[in-house]
Amino acid sequence: MKNIHILLSGVIMLICACGKDKIKYNPGVTPAVVTNYPVNVTATSATLTGTSLTGGKSISSQGFYTIIVSPAMYNTRGELNMKVVDSLVVKNGAKVEALTKGDFQAVINGLATDTTYFVKAYAANEAGITFGESVLFRSSKLVPPVAVLAKSYINLGDSAAVITGEVTAVGGDVVTERGFVWSTHENPEISDSKVSLGTGQGTFTDTLPPFPSFVKYYVRAYAINRFGTAYSEQLVVIFLPPTFTDPRDGEEYTIRQYGNAVWMTQNLRHIPATGFGTEIWLQDYNGNDAAAAKKSKYYRDYGCLYTYDKAVAVAPEGWHLATDEEWKQLEMLTGMSRSEADGVEWRGGTNGKLKSNLWPGEDTDAMEFNLHPGGKQWCGGAFQDFQSMGFYWTAIDDNAGPGSSPYYRFFPPGDGTGRWNNWPGCVGLSARYVRD
């Protein structure tokens, strides 16, 4: 039993020694303090925020000192003397104590409107007091808030989007309401569709209700205080299914958005109930029966050839024959300059982004525009250039002068594009369409 008693005594001595070492080598120190920039700064109030680490001792008090910027804080060169600022803030500033520990804050009222202040956070424990840096802020003018909107949204399927907004400044008074507004017309306001998402400064996010496909919606963030309602810049939201089905004949076309335009990415192949006549043709078919024509091995990949007037007339509802300018906008997305896009005849390559190919999936273009060289039909005469050149009518732009001739695009297999308007409208060419 003596051996056991001796062993226990040694353990007790070791524990006591460890306790003495802990006291000796881990003494408490003064807190570490950071002064954060105030939030919800109005014309007369602000929420001061700070962060502190205890320093190993319990915080006994923490808070802020504030003071109006004065001429005494500047040196002879007109620069702020931060040593003087730090001294004056603590010596002459107004003190407010925060109630919480760790990350702490305090609301101050009675600020002078449109006036510059310094704020300095502090925290104290039994080891002493520490001050954060002096931070400059300015009370607001008597104005509405500032609301901003993220420049993009997150798609959730084909009809819902996650939108993020922020109140970056509350203005002259507290923000009593914030959220999103949207409409099919530009610059929507709170009288349009809206969702309210809280109050005050900061970010807010919401999933907007489902929007119908192909409809362009304009979305803005908004914020309200007693001095008015503020709106962000608008964001355009449009939902696109992967395909469009022409209700006239059930033919399905792939679609894609390029820039601000939604394009069909296949050649139109619509054949009216009246048949072919003298304005619509299909390579390797000379009859007039639509059902028989659709069985042609070239029908689905190359589509039909149309005179200019017929290409305009057979546009599906809600779509139009792509204009010359819309083709230019598409081409400029490949890196082509405006002057190159405005040029005529052969204009060179498109950096591999608009490449013509013979069959789907064969060396496809980077933009997935599916250009297949369907050739042309010369005004009811011979078929020409099949599988060696693709030709596409472009609609005459609204700002074109009277008597203007329609331009067309031409694409040989491989990379590159040309633009010209030296053919009569009776020539049969391929056609692509853009959503209205």
Element (H, E) at 330: helix 324-332
How does strand 243-245 pair with strand 252-258? antiparallel
Bridge partners for 193 per DSSP = 182
Spatial separation of the C-alpha atoms in residues 134 and 119, rounded to whole Å: 6
Backbone dihedral angles phi then psi of residue 146, each to the nearest 5 degrees:
-120, 120
Half-sphere exposure of 193 (CA within 13 A, CB side): 12
Vertex 164, ends 158 and 165: CA angle to 5°? 140
Spatial separation of the C-alpha atoms in residues 157 and 186, rounded to whole Å: 24
Q: What is the DSSP letter of 73?
A: G
Exposure class string for 156-191: b at 16+ Cβ within 10 A, else e: eeeebbebbbbbebbbbbbbebbbbbbbeeeebeee
Task: Please give the C-alpha separations between residue 424 and each of 49, 86, 404, 409, in angstroms, as whole numbers.
Answer: 74, 82, 12, 14
Amino acid 168: pLDDT: 96
Amino acid 361: pLDDT: 53
Three-state secondary structure call for residue 288: coil
Spatial separation of the C-alpha atoms in residues 162 and 164, rounded to whole Å: 7
Task: Please give the C-alpha separations between residue 390 and each of 77, 81, 417, in angstroms, as whole numbers.
Answer: 72, 73, 10
Domains of the chain, earliest start first: 32-138 (2.60.40.10), 146-237 (2.60.40.10), 243-435 (no CATH)
> Which stretches of the chain score pLDDT less than 70?
1-27, 100-102, 157, 358-365, 400-403
Backbone dihedral angles phi then psi of residue 392, each to the nearest 5 degrees:
-135, 125
Q: Which amino acid is at 333?
A: L
Q: Which amino acid is at 157?
A: G
Amino acid 358: pLDDT: 59
Backbone dihedral angles phi then psi of residue 299, each to the nearest 5 degrees:
-60, -55
Half-sphere exposure of 226 (CA within 13 A, CB side): 7
Record the tokens describing residue 192, joined without a space.
Answer: 């349009």
Spatial separation of the C-alpha atoms in residues 269 and 302, rounded to whole Å: 8
Kindly write down the DSSP assignment for every residue of 239-264, as one continuous string.
---SEEE-TTT--EEEEEEETTEEEE
Residues 357, 397: contact at Cβ < 8 Å? no
Exposure class string for 259-271: b at 16+ Cβ within 10 A, else e: eebbbbbbbbbbb
Record the tokens describing residue 191, joined without a space.
Answer: 């009288």
Spatial separation of the C-alpha atoms in residues 172 and 143, rounded to whole Å: 5
Residue 406's nearest CA partner among 396, 392, 391, 398 is 396
Overall pTM > 0.75 = no
Backbone dihedral angles phi then psi of residue 290, each to the nearest 5 degrees:
-65, -40
Residues 178, 216: contact at Cβ < 8 Å? no
Spatial separation of the C-alpha atoms in residues 180 and 384, rounded to whole Å: 56
Spatial separation of the C-alpha atoms in residues 64 and 48, rounded to whole Å: 8
